């Protein structure tokens, strides 16, 4: 039927996520990036227009969609919801035809042909894996702080590769962390003594105390990796 670009968010959440809404074959699918948030039959969900956007309620969950082409989305959903009504009309017409045929052939000992009514098959809902649900939740909470690829399969592969590198080259990683920790501690000490240098270097994004704490944390992690090696 078509795709609609927009954004989605949960009620009470002010941080929207980019979303792609797909309508086709009697189903509505909502996806954000590479992750499918939901995929439901249209006749099992409740779609309503509210001042905040388009409210979709399915399987106990509520989503707020903001779609620029609301008229096109409304026409698409209306045409899909009218299909079950047409199927029910066909069934009633078939029953009426079968009743009239049997009534007209009662005096004659002949067999009445049966009229088959069309059946509408409802496809199964495609389930989501626990990993996809976890990644979607993480992207919703930390998506404004980290790039989108971190919350995909490539991000997990990069994390596994980093852990494997730390295990194989533990001594090298320990030395690098110790050196980085000492450098960050020195920078934190200098910025604590000179406020003008701190403003130029840190740009008010963090305080000198936070720099010192971060450097100490990096140094401690380097020590732990060295002990483990």
Structural domains of the chain, ranges and CATH numbers in brackets: 1-104+115-128 (2.30.29.30), 135-228 (no CATH)
Q: Quick check: 85 pLDDT over 70?
A: no
Q: For a pLDDT cut of 70, what percent of the chain falls above it?
A: 72
Cα–chain center distance at 189: 43
Q: Quick check: 114 pLDDT over 70?
A: no
Q: For a pLDDT cut of 90, what percent of the chain falls above it?
A: 3
pLDDT band at 123 (very low <50, low <70, confident <90, very high): very low
- Average pLDDT value over all residues in the chain: 75
* 90 compared with 164, residue with greater pLDDT: 164
Task: Give the span between the Cα atoms of 135 and 152, in whole angstroms.
Answer: 7
Q: Quick check: 89 pLDDT over 90?
A: no
Segment 68-74 long-range contacts (CB within 8 Å, at least 24 positions apart): 68/5, 68/6, 69/4, 72/2, 72/4, 73/4, 73/21, 73/23, 74/49
Task: Give the span between the Cα atoms of 216 and 150, in whole angstroms.
Answer: 26
Is there a contact between 117 and 90 (Cβ–Cβ < 8 Å)?
yes
* 95 compared with 202, residue with greater pLDDT: 202
* 25 compared with 86, residue with greater pLDDT: 25
Four-residue CA torsion sign, 35, 39, 45, 46: positive
Chain segment 167-184, per-residue pLDDT in tens:
888 888 888 988 998 998
* 114 compared with 140, residue with greater pLDDT: 140
pTM value is 0.34
**Predicted local confidence at residue 179, as pLDDT:** 94
């Amino acid at each position: 039927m078509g795709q609609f670009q927009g954004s989605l968010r949960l009620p009470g959440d002010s941080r929207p996520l980019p979303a792609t809404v797909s309508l086709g074959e009697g189903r509505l699918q909502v996806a954000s990036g590479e992750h499918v948030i939901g995929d439901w039959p249209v006749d099992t969900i409740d779609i309503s227009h509210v001042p905040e956007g388009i409210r979709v309620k399915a399987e106990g969950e509520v989503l707020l969609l903001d779609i620029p082409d609301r008229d096109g989305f409304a026409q698409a959903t209306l045409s899909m919801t009218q299909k079950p009504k047409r199927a029910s009309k066909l069934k009633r017409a078939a029953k009426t035809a079968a009743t009239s045929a049997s009534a007209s052939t009662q005096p004659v000992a002949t067999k009445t042909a049966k009229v088959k009514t069309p059946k509408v098959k409802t496809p199964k809902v495609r389930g989501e894996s626990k990993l996809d649900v976890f990644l979607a939740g993480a992207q919703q909470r930390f998506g404004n702080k980290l790039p989108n690829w971190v919350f995909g399969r490539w991000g997990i592969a990069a994390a596994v590769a980093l852990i494997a590198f730390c295990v194989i080259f533990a001594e090298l990683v320990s030395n690098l962390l110790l050196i980085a920790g000492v450098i960050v501690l020195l920078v934190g000490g200098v910025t604590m003594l000179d406020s003008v240098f701190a403003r130029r270097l840190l740009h008010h994004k963090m305080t000198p105390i936070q720099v010192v704490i971060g450097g100490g944390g990096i140094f401690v992690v380097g020590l732990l990796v060295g002990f483990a090696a």
